[in-house]
Amino acid sequence: MKAFAFAAGVVLATGAVAETPQLTVYTYDSFVPDWGPGPQVEAAFEETCGCDLNLVAVGDGASLLARLRLEGERSDADVVLGLDTNLIQSARETGLFAPHDVDAEFDLPVAWDDPVFVPFDWGYFAFVKDAGLEAPGNFRALGDSDLKIVIQDPRSSTPGLGLLMWVKAAYGDEAPEIWEGLADNIVTVTKGWSEAYGLFLDGEADMVLSYTTSPAYHLIAEEDDSKAAVPFDEGHYMQVEVAAKLAGSDQPELADAFLRFMVTDAFQSIIPTTNWMYPAVMPEGGLPEGFETLIAPERALLLPSEEVPALREEALDEWQRALSQ
């Protein structure tokens, strides 16, 4: 009798679970830990959606796209969150994504009207230095200086690819010259952002490729104002991080609801001090205290996403040639 009651309990319990719809969101690794945006986003969305939000972390943005391509149309993912502007074209060409119905006023330095990909945050790439260091104001001056920098490899890292595009967007056909100038400044090239930033903090280089928002972390979380980003007068390349709905989703309405939720204050106000990026739509309370100390680049650079794949090959060749001499 007891066994029967237990069995009945199990059946009822599983029945109850099955009634709660589940929304599966694939995202990158640093989104999900306790200190990332994930747990707060999950709690906030579950309050309103009557669903279970399941965040699945897959490496970084590039791994995320690779995994979706591996899974193809059978993927369990309903939404992918964490691709960036340099990956959008490759993602679009897979045909795995469906148009969104989000209508929002984005606070981006560039106009945004992509029918498929919805921005959730953005930032400027920048070199980060110790606040006291006298730093050059552009790539040419950096190349002429004796300062040592550490950067990420564009073949394994999204910021690394961002730098490649930055130089390409600012200098076009003169990019190889710029790289030749930088060659003797580059201490080393790392696999990813974490390694490069770690080397910089350990004093291996004077500057590291990161974001204009990086000093905000040190200022707000560590009460340390010793780091600063370096303004470059040719402008700063942007990274816009986006989310999209999978065409094969079995919860298309929930997926749409999630994307709409993503541009509301409840989501956007979590971003600045967990992901350390700018919110795509400014929340009502504005930015947290400390963000006003960050540099504000005068020019925002961004190559049209459809030109990225072809330019990437060319820029990568130039980069390799200049640095392999």
State the residues that interact with other proteins by CB under 8 A.
29-30, 32-36, 54-59, 62-63, 65-67, 69-71, 74, 76, 90, 148, 153, 155-156, 161, 183, 186-195, 197-199, 201-205, 214, 217-218, 221, 276, 312, 319-320, 323-324
d(CA 161, CA 61): 12
**99 residue type, one letter:** P
Vertex 303: Cα angle to 196 and 191 (nearest 5):
20
**Complex with other proteins: residue 177 or 195, whichever CB lies closer:** 195
Instruction: Give the nearest distance from C-beta 110 to other proteins in angstroms.
Output: 23
CA-closest candidate to residue 89, choices 313, 321, 317, 262: 313
**Complex with other proteins: residue 32 or 228, whichever CB lies closer:** 32
Residue 164: alpha-carbon gap to chain centroid: 16
Instruction: Give the nearest distance from C-beta 33 to other proteins in angstroms.
Output: 5
d(CA 35, CA 40): 9
- Please tell me what DSSP assigns to residue 295: -
Instruction: Give the nearest distance from C-beta 226 to other proteins in angstroms.
Output: 14
**Complex with other proteins: residue 10 or 221, whichever CB lies closer:** 221
Contact 180, 171 (CB under 8 A): no
Instruction: Give the nearest distance from C-beta 325 to other proteins in angstroms.
Output: 9
Instruction: Give the nearest distance from C-beta 262 to other proteins in angstroms.
Output: 19
The values of phi and psi at residue 57, to 5°, are -95, 130
Contact 288, 272 (CB under 8 A): yes
3-state secondary structure 89-111: HHHHHCCCEECCCCCCCCCCCCC
**Complex with other proteins: residue 8 or 310, whichever CB lies closer:** 310
Contact 122, 159 (CB under 8 A): no
d(CA 246, CA 24): 10
Instruction: Give the nearest distance from C-beta 228 to other proteins in angstroms.
Output: 15
Cα-Cα end-to-end distance for the chain: 80
**Complex with other proteins: residue 65 or 257, whichever CB lies closer:** 65
**Complex with other proteins: residue 13 or 221, whichever CB lies closer:** 221
**Complex with other proteins: residue 186 or 295, whichever CB lies closer:** 186
Instruction: Give the nearest distance from C-beta 201 to other proteins in angstroms.
Output: 5
